[in-house]
Chain A
Amino acid sequence: MTQDALSGGFADPARAAAEAFRASLDALARPGTIHRASGGSGPAPLSPAAATLLLTLCDAGTPLHLAGDHDTADIRAWVAFHLGAPLVAPGAAQFALGTWQALGPLGAYPQGESEYPDRSATLIVECGALEARGSRLTGPGIATEARLSLPETEAFRANAARFPLGLDFFFCAGDRLAALPRTTRVEAG
């Protein structure tokens, strides 16, 4: 799939962003639930869900890190046109985009400060697939337990142990997304 930098934005920005934000809010408030997020698209390998998330949350005020295969000239041009987000190294990133392997190590991203734990990065993780099975999730937003196909468990366990500091994650596959806030306790499924 080739796509030029100028296309792929929301057709109706205010309403499309409203729909996409509610999907991401629902996903983060109920870890493990899978939601549809569409309306945006970008150059490969950017998934429609990740493109939609970027269009909804990022702009010139949010430093963005592109990791691994997502750091292409095409995606840089798409980001420059649609978001205007400054591209930065992990240590300065408010958002980061890439596959799980490319994004690591997680310690490189801002984890928040004890007085301002909100000053931490949000990672947008591109996945091959998202399914409601695998790792066992418990914590705020989950009535009993939830299941989600996570790339691993140890990194999320370590992240949750740092609460209230830590990173928050969105997982994207095609036009579907799920999320994992730092509060969720993750165990192997």
Chain B
Amino acid sequence: MKELRLMKGNEAIAEAAIRCGCDAYFGYPITPQSEILEYLMVEKPHERTGMVVLQAESEVASINMVYAGAGCGRKVMTSSSSPGVSLMQEGLSYCAGAELPCLLVNVVRGGPGLGTIQPSQADYFQSTKGGGHGDYRLIVLAPSSVQEMCDFVGLGFDLAFKYRNPALILTDGAIGQMMEKVMLPASVNRWTEEEIKQQTPWATTGKPADRPANVITSLELDSAKQEKVNQKLQAKYAEMEKNEVRFERIQCDDAEYLFVAFGTSARICQKSIDLARAKGIKVGLLRPITLFPFPKDEIEKLAGQVKGMLSVEMNAGQMVEDIRLNAKGKCPVEHYGRFGGIMPSPDEVLKVLEQKFIGG
């Protein structure tokens, strides 16, 4: 049954996992996302749905447990924050190479190194360009509300299984920790053994007499075959770029200037738009929801319409590179960022827009 609740973003992710038929969560504590594991431990999902929850010895172990669970055709997930996600990159690369559908949540904190525990968007490059070794992509979803934290768990699994590819929810400590009302979806059952065999005939569920043994691996030593593996992956990513681009346009129709921002930054920009329009400056916001696949066409289209784009990010300028690439010189593209756990304020963002494009 659907249910309206006031929850933290992290808790919404955990509750959504139970409700969307997730088979297992493997995780390791790290601020600012530990509520996900804590909530699951309190909720005893093994009693509610049979879902397995395990606190692993490290993020390295967690992601490899995810690899194995996904290899068995199960809906499995993990979550962490930046330093932990760095540790997971090897395992994620193996998941991508072995084409395993799984879900990862990165509640980003400021880096580099141990950095801070405050919110950041500095893991954009790592998330959208692969992250680990080899040519691969993750499906990257960027929620900007607690509701989307909840909704993107189910969506993430759906896309992961549709493409046999890892999906990532890229969020930050602000959305993970903030409380908002959230409409929780009705529970769906976990797949039965029969459904798993039907949906994932490639999975290691035990070799019956009537099929060859299934093998989950990312190894192919023959270069000619390894190139084919890569071509297959690239074709899959091209399909995602064709079919799965998601974004939100906010007051773009009459906009003369445009913010481009995702997640927490997008929320800040919405307030900046109100401040700008009160002053008679027509500003809109393009909020990419999928960071991979990136809304390339929409950027190009809007670049032909506005006088300038400002990429507002909690980093030193990462998404701005993708915006510049896709604006194709049709309008100036600037970046404004705060880092180290600092979030820009709405009037600060507006002031930068005015300085960069209007003169003031």
A and B bind: no
Q: Hey, which bits of chain B sit against chain A, CB under 8 A?
A: none
